[in-house]
């Protein structure tokens, strides 16, 4: 059940949702433009499925979990874990610059997340590690929430999964 919209931008929207068992989660919707050619639509579908399957394998305490994915009327959906808190950009805007010791704790947590992703087979390169994609949770720790620009390395070839329109 969709409770409300959290964010909107480009060709995607993020909603706060609730499962049948009352668990709060996030529903990320991506749309393939109706003006796209059939081949582009097919490629977008393939890339979405590949990204969703890739992300579903991730199991790290500081990375939002992917619960499910589905496609309906050219809209691609990811059902993800909801993390309480606010993004790092909002946190710094509201609370000001942080002390060096807090920045070091966060940097170590981010480095741990990246080391985990880079050690996967095949490795995952995030490519959009920004304050907007890092959540400062209620316990003060940092978690990664968005893989819209994730990149998977296959042998010597690089294949972009799904990226932002910019």
Q: How far apart are CA 22 and CA 20, in angstroms?
A: 5
Distance between the two ends of the chain, CA-based, in angstroms? 30
* Catalytic hit among 128, 132, 139, 146: 128
Do 86 and 135 meet the contact criterion of CB atoms below 8 Å apart? Answer: yes
* DSSP-based three-state secondary structure for 67: strand
Known catalytic residue at 21? no
Q: How far apart are CA 154 and CA 29, in angstroms?
A: 26
Distance of CA 15 to the CA centre of its chain: 13
Q: Bridge-partner residues for 159, per DSSP?
A: 152
* DSSP-based three-state secondary structure for 16: strand
Q: Which residues are catalytic?
A: 128
């Amino acid at each position: 059940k969709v409770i409300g919209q959290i964010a909107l931008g480009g060709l995607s929207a993020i909603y706060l949702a609730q499962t049948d068992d009352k668990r709060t989660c996030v529903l990320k919707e991506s749309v393939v433009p109706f003006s796209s050619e059939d081949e582009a639509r097919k490629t977008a579908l393939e890339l979405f499925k590949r990204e969703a399957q890739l992300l579903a394998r991730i199991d790290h305490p500081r990375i939002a979990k992917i619960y499910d994915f589905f496609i309906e009327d050219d809209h691609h959906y990811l059902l993800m874990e909801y993390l309480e808190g606010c993004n790092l950009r909002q946190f710094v805007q509201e609370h000001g610059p942080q002390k060096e010791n807090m920045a070091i704790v966060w940097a170590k947590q981010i480095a741990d997340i990246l080391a985990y992703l880079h050690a996967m087979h095949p490795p995952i390169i995030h490519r959009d590690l920004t304050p907007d994609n890092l959540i400062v949770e209620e316990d003060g720790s940092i978690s990664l929430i968005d893989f819209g620009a994730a990149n998977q390395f296959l042998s010597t070839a690089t294949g972009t999964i799904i990226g932002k329109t910019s």
